[in-house]
Amino acid sequence: MIRLAVGAAGAVFLVVPVFIGALSDDGNRAAPALHQVEGIPGTMLRAYAQAAGLLEVEYPGCKGMTWPVLAGIGKVESDHAAGHEISPGGRVHPPITGPRLDGSGAGGNTTPHTDSDGGVWDGDAGFDRAVGPMQFLPSTWALHGLDATGDGVADPHNAFDAAWSAAVYLCVSDPHAQVVDFGDQDDLDAALGRYNHSASYVREVRGHIDVYAELAAHAAPALGSGVEATSAQGRAAVEWALGQVGKPYLWGGTGPGAFDCSGLVMRAWEAAGVRLPRVTTDQVNTGTRLALDQVRPGDLLFYDTGAPGGSPSHVTMYVGDGRMVNAPGTGRSIRVEPVGGEYYRARFVAAVRPG
């Protein structure tokens, strides 16, 4: 439900559009992890996590953004699009529209907002209504909505577009701040207050953020439908790697904003307390060789893609349920995809459990 305050217009005022990577309906470029969180549809969770994971890459002055922050807003604004269908590409159907903002007091608004979009987004040619899972005013969206999916349309009824727009606004809405740290409680409260100028709104959102943060910190990896029971270190490596999904590939990259294939798995296992060599040709010799049907989450899968430097030239990490997390190459983002895909199946070299 939209909550409006004088001067806030009940929605977010966003700035520079930034394209963060195409998302196909088959989910190949849809980033975040395999997590499931009760009450949050999987596509909404992916939208929150992708936006959170890429914010610091695109806006280095904004630190500490997490999916629970965006989920806290989404919970209050639309209950994560409850009662609506969400396609894998993020399209919410039927569209979410808030109360008619005719000044009658509905939705907490006493200032009329006459129609600004001809009813295109809200279906109302008389007065505006807040739209989409993050509840933007059409007038705000027309000026500042962001296209996160790369389809050429900034759509407030698309979960990925809406979540990315919200993340960017929280980052840049204070023009005087050189750094915004969402891990700092004062910075977080101030950003939420700029999203909606209401102290009660900030308290309500913060309550949901705290709940989701507790789940993220203590319930994972049990939340992962694709994360099978295995060693604690393997689970920790998988959870860390999945948290990087959506970040860009960078040759030689070891984080935090971008990774190459061996840099990703090295950092993931480092987070689990295991040191790995830097390059694939050394990583393949560190640990226990396995048959492909023996792999467990955290195990490394090596491939010969023909790249310079010897074989194997590429590595991914098995995450369970027949899927792997992969930093595939220049111009693409870290993603989760099937182990049995035609390209990689034909180039498989070895599976290794780090020791």
Q: Between 14 and 85, whose confidence is greater? A: 85
Select from 99, 81, 77 the least CA-distant residue to 157: 81
CA distances to 136, 188, 325, 352 from 5, in Å: 14, 19, 43, 57
**9-18, 110-119, 234-243: which has the minimum mean pLDDT?**
9-18
Q: What is the mean pLDDT of residues 339-351?
A: 93
In one-letter notation, the amino acid at residue 174 is D
Q: pLDDT tens for residues 312-329?
A: 999 999 998 899 999 999
Written out in words, the top-level CATH class of the domain with range 232-353 is alpha beta
Give the pLDDT band (50/70/90) at residue 218: low
Per domain, the residue ranges of the chain are 42-219, 232-353
Give the pLDDT band (50/70/90) at residue 180: very high
Q: Is the dihedral of CA 241, 247, 248, 251 positive or negative?
A: negative
Check: CB of residue 159 under 8 Å from CB of residue 90: yes
First to last CA, the chain: 51
Fill in the DSSP letter of residue 45: H
Residue pointed to by tokens 């459990």: 353
Question: DSSP states of 158-207 as a string?
Answer: BHHHHHHHHHHHHHHS-TT-S-EETTSHHHHHHHHHHHS--HHHHHHHHH
Give pTM, 2 decimals: 0.59
Q: How many CA atoms lie within 13 A of 92 on its CB side?
A: 30
Check: CB of residue 255 under 8 Å from CB of residue 271: no
Give the pLDDT band (50/70/90) at residue 33: very low
Q: Between 108 and 253, whose confidence is greater? A: 253
Q: What is the mean pLDDT of residues 128-132?
A: 93
Q: How far apart are CA 10 and CA 164, in angstroms?
A: 18
Q: pLDDT tens for residues 248-299?
A: 999 999 988 899 999 999 999 887 778 899 999 999 998 888 898 899 999 9
